[in-house]
Amino acid sequence: MPRTAAATRARTPDAPPSPATAPAPSPLDTATALLGLLADTTTEPRPNDDLEALTLAVAADLPVLLWGEPGIGKTAALTQLAESLDLPLTTVIASVHEPSDFSGLPVIGPDPASEGIPMAPPDWAVRLVRAGRGLLFLDELSTAPPAVQAALLRLVLERRVGALRLPPAVRIVAAANPPASAADGWELSPPLANRFVHLTWRHDPRVVVRGLGGTWPVAALPALDAGRLTEAVAYARRAVCGFLTARPTLVHQLPSTETVRGNAWPSPRSWDMALRLTAFASAAGAGRDVLALLVRGAVGDGPGYEFLAHLDRMELPDPEDLLADPAHAVLPERGDRRQAALDAVVAAVNARPEQGRWQAAWELLAHAARTGAPDLLVTPASTLAALRRPDWPAPPAIEGLSGVVALSHRVARAGAEADEETRRTAERERAETWR
């Protein structure tokens, strides 16, 4: 058969081989590459009270419940927290599980009459035990029906799933939407709600904007001061025990409304959580705003605010120490605490009125005028002046407070004039009514 020219050229050894054509990337590969670029983000340390409160509660090994509207970033925050702590994250959607998924599935053995029927745990619990550590994320808690909530009680408090106990290094965090914005939402049962530290998850627009730009805040466990551990525990015990001694009705106070029962409220269990959180916050040197979030999340807003006020009083100097050496007294820098310390000194003089103590109090007020805002002395100076006995001479220290005393008199006169004007206005209105 005669050869064609093309066939001859193809068999010629000197002809260069045709270059291999690289396959064009598929549209799906290109989309995957773009998704990878979008997911390539970094983190940075950034002060965030909500995030610091969450990490402190996780460090204290207390179950945390994050409340927030849908789409606010609760799940993303937990994912980032698990990554930064190098903990395997196990997510369980509570609302799509049966009660037996948490209490255990009955498995009939070879001799149930003598051995009984064991309760087999689900696969996610087995994986956590094998890993020895992890972050268990119970999502959509407010959409779990009451039967599932009842099955969760033992898991949250005792860390037991069927016959299996989760390792101590497993931390539990849950998330929930408010019932009004949850799909078929339920109020949390009081026993389940009382097992959590409730934190409201909020978004900072500046953090969101910077995160969408590629940099999110990093979540790190708090740095506990090893030298302050014993002191922190003693401080927390003294604070909680002292407060509950003064306010015994707050040891256990079940709210009357169903909505409040599904959040934080005071009980011996939640006060134990507040004690632990106070100790951890003290050892970590956390700010008062972070401690406020944690304590209110454990025992509720009302008892929490009262407890924080008790902590402020605990940190005030002893009035008797201030009266013993008024010229060298160290007063709090913060205005409200300084005011409370001076009021406590005046109250101590009123409880045991003596000329020497009365004069020492005036010296302390003069010292406070030199080292702080003089307007804080108006009320203490007025009260102290009213405690003077007829045979007590005016102390020399009062000369330095003449401006404060004059201001006190002007404030008193202005208050009296305002009261008189209010009385006259009321009388005119009554007269107009009867006319």
Look at 285 and 425; give whichever has higher pLDDT: 285
Q: Helix or strand or coil: residue 259?
A: helix
pLDDT band, residue 8 (cuts 50/70/90): very low
pLDDT (tens digit, 9 = 90+) per residue, 347-363?
899 999 999 999 999 88
- Give 44's strand partners: 217
Cα dihedral value 219, 53, 167, 229, nearest 10: 110
Pick from 368, 366, 362, 360: nearest CA to 331: 368
> What residue segments make up the domains of the chain, in order of their start?
43-105+118-217, 226-314, 319-434
Q: Are 14 and 182 in contact (CB under 8 A)?
A: no
Instruction: Report the Cα–Cα distance between both ends of the chain, in Å, rounded.
Output: 133
Residue 19 has pLDDT above 70, yes or no: no
- Give 172's strand partners: 136
Which DSSP helix (H) or strand (E) runs through 128? helix 123-131
CATH fold for domain 43-105+118-217: Rossmann fold (3.40.50)
pLDDT (tens digit, 9 = 90+) per residue, 152-201?
998 998 898 888 899 999 999 999 988 766 666 788 899 999 999 999 98
pLDDT of residue 98: 86
Q: What is the pTM of this model?
A: 0.73
pLDDT (tens digit, 9 = 90+) per residue, 368-427?
888 887 778 888 888 888 888 888 888 877 766 655 555 445 544 555 555 666 667 766
CA distance 217 to 220: 10
Average pLDDT value for the chain: 83
What residue spans of 20-73 are helical by DSSP H?
A: 27-39, 49-59
